[in-house]
Structure 1
């Protein structure tokens, strides 16, 4: 599968407003690589996140793309204040679902 064929794969019809906004934000970050990484994670998990996990995901999405991409690629360590179960899930998802071009 090429990167060009990736895109939103879930509908937001069954989501509350907060989750719809998070899903949208995950797919509209600014760089295509981060759109694909966070967007695909959101497609797969947004409906299952608890409110606390959703808050952590929303906070993670406020991190600049360059920094977050460095954490995902393992080029930079994740700062302690961003470490936690949601960040671990995002990092594991990125490793298990690499972008291929």
Structure 2
């Protein structure tokens, strides 16, 4: 049986891998956010962030760079949170 600690460790490793998008602009936003802020998110926000990572790279790039408005309100809120978190650090 897998413990909660093991589960969270594997979850974090999967997230870090998913944050390596191959686009430097996304990598420098997503990976630091996971490493520094993901643990403090509520359960619901963690789910939103994980869902956000399933979006296509061109969409993520357009949303994070402000080239296109994200129509999904949960995604838009998480994108703002990531951008704020990374700018503060």
TM > 0.5 between the two? yes
Alignment of 1:16-27 (within 5 A): 16-26=9-19
Greater RCO (CA < 8 Å, at least 6 residues apart): 1
Aligned length: 82
**Structure-2 separation of matches of 1:92 and 1:33:** 15
How high is the TM-score relative to the length of structure 2? 0.71
TM-superposed deviation, 1:33: 2.1
**Which residues of structure 1 form unaligned runs of 5+?**
1-12
Structure 2 unaligned segments of length 5 or more: list them. Answer: 1-5
Give the TM-score normalised by the residue count of structure 1. 0.64
